[in-house]
Amino acid sequence: MGKRMDTNKNIVFIGMPGCGKSSIGKIVAERLKLPFYDVDEYIEKKAGKTIKEIFQHGEEHFRRIESEAIREISQNRPSVISTGGGAVKVPLNMKILRENSVIFFINRPIEKILQDIDISVRPLLAGDASKIYELYQERYPLYKKYCDIEVMNDREFQDVVNKIIRFLGKMLYDGLE
């Protein structure tokens, strides 16, 4: 039997834009009666600006604000945290999260993501569907590298959430290894 899971850990969701992090995060938080934080929403509230407005000062500027938000949120343990799609680009973010969280990679087929999201309002996709495939190629290795568990989101939300909660229960009992 492996090491027992520290029950004080955050539960963190990483994955592509539109993969279901916020929807799934909210349901998991309700089911486990834990506080829920969406990093993008937290940033917008704190800055009093939209992500799009913050991006107007450049991606680097946004990434600095994002790292600060991740550091602040991750201190409220235990919480459920849905990150922005690009949080994995900054190694420091993942160092902070890996210290005190269980990290789930929500993987959703790109075709399904494209059915649900409006790419015209996404600064990094800029209305061009082919960009999301490029982004996936670039980011997939990072999501895999930093996650503890990969979960496919190609079914009903409740089925995906049940799978996550079963994983968490198993971890509590058996540990991560």
Ligand X SMILES: O=C(O)C1=C[C@@H](O)[C@@H](O)[C@H](O)C1
Binding mask 23-52 for ligand ATP (x = CB under 6 A): x----------------x------------
Percent of the chain that is helix, strand, coil (3-state, to 5): 55, 10, 30
Choose one: 6-14, 21-29, 52-60, 87-95; the region binding Mg ion (CB under 5 A).
Answer: 21-29
Residue 49, SS3?
Answer: coil
Residue 113 touching ligand X (CB under 6 A): no
User: Segment 22-61, which members bind ligand X (CB under 6 A)?
Assistant: 40, 51
Annotated binding residue at 63? yes
Residue 62 backbone class (left: φ over 0; alpha: ψ -120 to 50; beta: rest): alpha
Nearest-Å Rg of the Cα atoms of the chain is 16
Give the dihedral sign, CA 13/165/141/133: negative
**114, interface contact from ligand ATP, Mg ion, ligand X, none, CB < 5-8 Å by kind:** none
Does residue 153 come out as left (phi exceeding 0), alpha (psi in the -120 to 50 range) or beta?
A: beta
Q: 55: which DSSP letter? A: H
- The response to whether 147 counts as a known ligand-binding position is no
Task: Choose the one of Mg ion, ligand ATP, ligand X, none that binds residue 125, judging by a C-beta under 5 to 8 angstroms depending on kind.
Answer: none
122 is in an annotated binding site: yes
Contacted by 20, from Mg ion, ligand X, ligand ATP, none: CB < 5 to 8 Å by type:
ligand ATP
Toward ligand X, which CB reaches closer, 25 or 84? 84
Greatest Cα-to-Cα distance within the chain, rounded to the nearest angstrom:
50
For 52-172, strand residue ranges (E) read 80-82, 101-107, 149-152
Minimum Å gap between C-beta 60 and ligand ATP is 20
Annotated binding site: 18-23, 40, 63, 85, 122, 139, 155
What residues line the site for ligand X (CB under 6 A)? 17, 40, 51, 84-86, 123-124
Annotated binding site for substrate: 40, 63, 85, 139
